[in-house]
């Protein structure tokens, strides 16, 4: 069976390709171009395959009274209050950000939260789009984005199987088949016991025509690295250059440059250690096969012509002689030559 792949920029996601990494900068630019540039620089150092932002305006995203659905310890504040502080980037600012990423040779794209933002991103030649978990039921937006005919990553936090299928159908109906389905838990941060990585395997089985990835909100690197054992081919992880920053609420649950780099190293270690699902002969074990295994060994000097008895034999390392499983067949055979004490017997030593 051919493994599904999707091309983002100059890299292949899925199949046998290395796990694709997305430094999810989100709104950790705190509304400034300068911080967006620093995020891009940090993502390059962190060895991320790509960096992703979120593009929205508070007035088109939420009502002014919409309650927050996350706990950040700040009372008497609405979603609008939070997002309004982070949506000050102009279209020209976004162009500068994407141009800067291009000079740094790192793939840059974004999550649009409305059609206007999607059109802006498309005009800036993004190589892909991301649909947030909260918008998996926003079929009009999904259709609009799908019509751009660029790869789409879609997060599945809070989503039922029907929600996922309807989103996929909306994309496919636009003639767009480059879809990456991202397992996700909409909890900030996600506790490890809530990560539900087994769901990745379910997505792999139920949606086998698509690449499956994981959008992670846990703290640290262990859970996203482990997700690859369940079939994740793409990892999205919140990212910042300074976890002590507070304007964007995502800084606190993000990996910094060192942390993201460690995650990438861990993913690459997993990939080279994965191996195959069958036991084969490994070059690294050749010496062990010879010297760690055992042979039938003489316990005394055996003269030529002697019929070999059990008390003349033992089973010891190395494994360069007759294997132990043939002990019963060696007993009663005639020595064809003088055999010294405490050496492995070979087939040249005895009558067959």
HEC string for 272-284: HHCCCCCCCCCHH
Reported as a single tens digit per residue, the pLDDT across 104-117 is: 999 999 999 999 99
Residue 268 pLDDT > 60:
yes
pLDDT value for 72: 87
Residue 333 pLDDT > 90:
yes
Query: Domain-by-domain residue ranges, the chain?
Result: 8-273, 282-352
Of 98, 99, 148, the residue nearest 122 (C-alpha): 148
Residue 12 corresponds to which tokens in the numbers above?
A: 């292949």
Q: Which of 18-22, 263-267, 280-284, 341-345 has the least mean pLDDT?
A: 280-284
Q: What is the mean pLDDT of residues 160-189?
A: 97
Radius of gyration for the chain, computed over Cα atoms and rounded to the nearest angstrom: 30
* Candidate CATH numbers 3.20.20.80, 3.40.50.300, 3.90.1210.10, 3.40.47.10; the one for domain 282-352: 3.90.1210.10
Residue 150 corresponds to which tokens in the numbers above?
A: 């660029």
Q: What is the DSSP letter of 198?
A: H
What's the mean per-residue pLDDT of the chain? 96
179-204 b/e (C-beta count within 10 Å ≥ 16 → b): bbbbbbbbbebbeeeebebebbeebb
CATH architecture of 8-273: Alpha-Beta Barrel (3.20)
pLDDT value for 352: 79
C-alpha separations of 16 from 2, 5, 13, 150 in Å: 10, 9, 9, 22
Q: What is the mean pLDDT of residues 335-347?
A: 97
Q: Return the higher-pLDDT residue of 283 and 310.
A: 310
How far apart (Å, rounded) are the C-alpha atoms in residues 352 and 93?
85
Query: What DSSP letter does each residue of 183-247 carry, written as one string?
Result: EE---SSPPGGG--THHHHHHHHHTTTSEEEEEE-SSSSHHHHHHGGGT--EEEEEB-S-TT--S
Reported as a single tens digit per residue, the pLDDT across 38-90 is: 999 999 999 999 999 999 999 999 999 999 999 888 999 999 999 999 999 99
- pTM value is 0.89
Of 65, 73, 123, 74, the residue nearest 94 (C-alpha): 123
Residue 1 pLDDT > 60:
no
Residue 2 pLDDT > 70:
no
- The secondary structure element, H or E, covering residue 35 is helix 33-45
pLDDT value for 73: 87
Q: What percent of the chain has pLDDT over 70?
A: 99
| Residue 219 confidence class, pLDDT cut points 50, 70, 90 | very high
Q: What is the mean pLDDT of residues 174-187?
A: 97
Residue 317 corresponds to which tokens in the numbers above?
A: 């390392």
Residue 296 pLDDT > 60:
yes
Reported as a single tens digit per residue, the pLDDT across 226-235 is: 999 999 999 9
pLDDT value for 319: 97
Q: Is 20:235 a contact under the CB 8 Å cutoff?
A: yes
- Cβ within 8 Å of residue 329, ≥6 positions away: none
Q: Is 351:321 a contact under the CB 8 Å cutoff?
A: no
pLDDT value for 132: 98
How far apart (Å, rounded) are the C-alpha atoms in residues 295 and 289?
11
pLDDT value for 279: 81
Reported as a single tens digit per residue, the pLDDT across 30-41 is: 999 999 999 999
Reported as a single tens digit per residue, the pLDDT across 236-248 is: 999 999 999 999 9
Q: What is the mean pLDDT of residues 164-185?
A: 98
| Residues forming beta bridges with residue 315, ordered by sequence position | 296
Helix, strand and coil percent figures for the chain, each rounded to 5: 35, 20, 45
pLDDT value for 283: 86
Residue 21 pLDDT > 60:
yes
Q: How many CA atoms lie within 13 A of 64 on its CB side?
A: 0
Q: What percent of the chain has pLDDT over 90?
A: 94
Q: What is the mean pLDDT of residues 194-202?
A: 98
Residue 173 pLDDT > 60:
yes
Q: What is the DSSP letter of 67?
A: B
Sheet strands (E) in the chain = 5-8, 11-14, 20-26, 50-55, 107-112, 129-131, 152-155, 179-184, 211-216, 234-238, 295-298, 313-316
């Amino acid at each position: 069976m051919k493994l599904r792949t999707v091309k983002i920029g100059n890299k292949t996601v899925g199949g046998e390709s290395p796990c694709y990494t997305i430094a999810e900068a989100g709104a950790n630019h705190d509304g400034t171009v300068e911080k967006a540039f620093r995020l891009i620089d940090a993502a390059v150092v962190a060895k991320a395959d790509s960096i992703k932002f979120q593009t929205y305006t508070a007035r088109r995203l939420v009502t002014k009274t919409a309650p927050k659905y996350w706990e950040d310890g700040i009372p008497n504040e609405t979603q609008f209050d939070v997002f309004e502080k982070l949506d000050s980037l102009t279209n020209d600012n976004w162009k500068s950000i994407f141009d800067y990423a291009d000079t740094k040779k790192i793939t840059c794209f974004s999550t649009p939260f409305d059609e206007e933002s999607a059109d802006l991103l498309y005009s800036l030649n993004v190589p892909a789009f991301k649909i947030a978990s909260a918008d998996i039921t926003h079929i009009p937006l999904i259709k609009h984005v799908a019509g751009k005919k660029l790869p789409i990553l879609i997060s599945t936090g809070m989503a039922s199987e029907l929600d996922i299928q309807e989103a996929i159908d909306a994309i496919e109906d636009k003639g767009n088949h480059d879809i990456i389905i991202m397992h996700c838990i909409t909890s900030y941060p996600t506790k490890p016991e809530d990560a539900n990585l087994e769901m990745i395997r379910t997505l792999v089985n139920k949606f086998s025509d698509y690449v499956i990835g994981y959008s992670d909100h846990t703290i640290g690197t262990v859970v996203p690295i482990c997700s690859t054992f369940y079939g994740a081919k793409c990892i999205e992880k919140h990212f910042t250059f300074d976890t002590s920053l507070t304007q964007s609420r995502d800084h606190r649950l993000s990996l910094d440059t060192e942390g993201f780099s460690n995650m990438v190293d861990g993913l690459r270690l997993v990939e080279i250690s994965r191996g195959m699902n069958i036991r084969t002969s490994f070059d690294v074990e050749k010496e062990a096969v010879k010297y760690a295994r055992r042979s039938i060994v003489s316990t005394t000097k055996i003269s030529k012509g002697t019929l070999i008895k059990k008390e003349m034999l033992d089973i010891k390392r190395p494994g360069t002689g007759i294997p132990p499983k043939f002990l019963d067949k060696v007993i009663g055979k005639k020595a064809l030559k003088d055999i010294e004490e405490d050496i492995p017997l070979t087939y040249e030593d005895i009558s067959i």
